[in-house]
């Protein structure tokens, strides 16, 4: 089974979001963009994509017209023109495989974890994307700040 991720990234903050889509039809892609970006953050001023049929179509142009989005496409056969997003596609793919291998969770949960980790940990100009977009990182327990869950309620004398 081939998994298709629709990955969107803000080039200013490097904040990203990604969803699993069932196909690359124009309807599916536009619906995913609307649900996972526009409803949360509003319409972007510019939208850069490759020149694939899922982006270069009448439905996408209609979305751009309705929300005042300038649609831009990279040149054909030049994935480096949108290198930030292309690299992110690769890294999320690897992360999802490893998360699913380690935790046996489904692809939707694994992708959510991979995106959350990337937005909270990736350091860009000294800040994570979450810090640049929301002003803070989410409160996620970790072993540096919290006791591991297995040791909750256990005193140090009981461990030794």
Give the tens place of pLDDT for each residue, 97-129. 999 999 999 999 999 999 999 999 877 688 999
Domains, the chain, with CATH or none: 4-134 (3.30.420.10)
Residues 160 and 157: their CA atoms lie apart, in Å, by: 5
Strand-pair category, 16-21 with 4-9: antiparallel
> C-alpha angle 137/141/147, rounded to 5°?
145
Q: What is the mean pLDDT of the chain?
A: 86
Name which residue leads in pLDDT, 42 or 147. Answer: 42
- 3-state DSSP call for residue 72? strand
pLDDT band at 36 (very low <50, low <70, confident <90, very high): very high
Q: What is the phi/psi pair of residue 61, to 5°?
A: -65, -35
| pLDDT at residue 110 in the model | 94
Mark 5-32 as b/e (b = at least 16 C-beta within 10 Å): bbbbbbeebbbbbbbbbeeeebebbbbb
Using CA atoms, how far apart are residues 53 and 154, in angstroms rounded to an integer?
58
Q: What is the pLDDT of residues 119-157, one digit of tens each?
A: 998 776 889 999 999 999 887 766 556 555 555 555 555
pTM of the model: 0.81
Q: Comparing 141 with 66, which gets the higher pLDDT? A: 66
Please calculate the CA angle 138-140-141 and round it to the nearest 5 degrees: 150
């Amino acid at each position: 089974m081939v998994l298709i991720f629709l990955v969107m990234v803000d080039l200013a903050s490097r904040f990203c979001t990604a969803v699993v889509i069932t196909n690359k039809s124009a309807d599916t892609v536009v619906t995913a963009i609307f649900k996972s970006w526009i409803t949360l953050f509003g319409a972007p001023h510019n939208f850069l994509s490759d020149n694939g049929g899922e982006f270069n179509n009448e439905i996408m142009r209609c979305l751009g017209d309705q929300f005042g989005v300038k649609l831009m496409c990279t040149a054909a056969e030049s994935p480096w023109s949108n290198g930030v997003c292309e690299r992110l596609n690769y890294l999320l793919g690897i992360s999802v495989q490893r998360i699913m291998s380690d935790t046996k969770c489904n692809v939707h949960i694994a992708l959510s974890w991979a995106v959350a980790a990337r937005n909270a940990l990736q350091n860009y100009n000294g800040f994570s994307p979450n810090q640049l977009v929301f002003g803070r990182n989410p409160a996620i327990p970790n072993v540096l700040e919290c006791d591991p869950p297995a040791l909750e309620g256990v005193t140090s004398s009981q461990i030794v």
